[in-house]
């Protein structure tokens, strides 16, 4: 028997995915602004942030309604809790994208410090993590979610590499300190986005399997 609250749950999922799309697009555009030296794209990211914020509020509203009106159990309950947390992560991702866009605006006022090699690689991985985390949600695919978790280390390594490299540039030429510092911030932001994608993947595993994979050190007997 299909229950009528499934319609509400589906709409909730639809909106969450839409918001995921918006967040992904924001990250992608913000990074492109730097790589392609395109000031306009950076501005667009800033303008579009409101859409993400509005969506966050709407999803929160729906979560409250669904929880108040339907006494959800088991997988349905875990789904709504996961949606609520993913909603937060996506909003934070949006904020990070805005940070990157603002850094981009500052970076573009200076000549390019160096050819970007690791940065595009890193953003590609991070965007892939976001996309796969949300796909895992749609397909209830735990394996895909696990693969997102395992990519977190690559991101951390790339961030460290970018740090080291840019520090070398800064020590060698004090005129690049400002843009190089912003590039470091950008790597830091991307790394944070990767963390949020990891959180999303963990929530997906929790939703599908009812298993909490966060903080394995915590004893949950």
Tell me phi and psi for residue 29, to 5 degrees: -65, -40
The stretch among 26-34, 95-103, 136-144, 189-197 that binds other proteins (CB under 8 A) is 26-34
Contact flag: residue 13 with other proteins (CB under 8 A): no
Which residue from 39, 58, 118, 141 is in contact with other proteins, where contact means CB under 8 A? 58
Contact flag: residue 11 with other proteins (CB under 8 A): yes
The stretch among 65-73, 95-103, 165-173, 183-191 that binds other proteins (CB under 8 A) is 65-73
Q: List binders of other proteins among 33-52 (CB under 8 A).
A: 41, 44, 48, 51
Which residue from 9, 25, 83, 100 is in contact with other proteins, where contact means CB under 8 A? 25
In whole angstroms, how close is the CB of 22 to other proteins at the nearest point?
A: 6
Contact flag: residue 28 with other proteins (CB under 8 A): yes
In whole angstroms, how close is the CB of 124 to other proteins at the nearest point?
A: 14
Contact flag: residue 192 with other proteins (CB under 8 A): no
Contact flag: residue 2 with other proteins (CB under 8 A): yes
End-to-end CA distance of the chain: 35
Contact flag: residue 77 with other proteins (CB under 8 A): no
Contact flag: residue 15 with other proteins (CB under 8 A): yes
Which residue from 9, 12, 16, 29 is in contact with other proteins, where contact means CB under 8 A? 29
Q: Judge contact between 127 and 183, C-beta under 8 A.
A: no
Residues contacting 109, CB < 8 A, separation 6+: 179
Assign residue 24 a region (left: φ > 0; alpha: ψ between -120 and 50; beta: otherwise). Answer: alpha
In whole angstroms, how close is the CB of 25 to other proteins at the nearest point?
A: 4
Nearer to other proteins, 69 or 167 (CB): 69
Site residues (vs other proteins, CB under 8 A): 1-5, 11, 14-15, 18, 21-22, 24-25, 28-29, 32, 41, 44, 48, 51, 55, 58, 64-65, 68-71
């Amino acid at each position: 028997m299909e229950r009528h609250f499934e319609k509400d749950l589906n709409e909730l999922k639809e909106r969450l995915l839409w918001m995921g799309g918006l967040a992904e697009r924001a990250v992608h555009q913000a990074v492109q602004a730097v790589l392609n030296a395109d000031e306009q794209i950076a501005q667009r990211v800033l303008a579009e942030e409101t859409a993400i914020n509005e969506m966050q509020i709407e999803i929160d509203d729906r979560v409250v309604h669904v929880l108040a009106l339907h006494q959800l159990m088991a997988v349905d309950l875990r789904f709504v809790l996961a949606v609520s947390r993913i909603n937060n992560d996506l909003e934070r991702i949006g904020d990070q994208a805005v940070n990157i866009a603002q850094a981009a605006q500052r970076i573009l006022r200076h000549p390019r410090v160096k050819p970007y090699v690791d940065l595009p690689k890193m953003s590609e991985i991070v965007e892939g993590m976001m996309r796969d985390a949300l796909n895992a949600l749609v397909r209830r695919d735990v394996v895909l979610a696990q693969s997102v978790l395992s990519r977190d280390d690559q991101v951390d390594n790339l961030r460290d590499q970018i740090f080291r490299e840019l520090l070398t540039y800064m020590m060698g030429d004090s005129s690049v300190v400002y843009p190089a510092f912003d590039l470091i911030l950008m790597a830091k932001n991307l790394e944070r986005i990767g963390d949020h994608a990891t959180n999303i993947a963990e929530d997906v595993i929790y939703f599908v399997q009812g298993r909490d994979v966060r903080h394995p050190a915590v004893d949950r007997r």
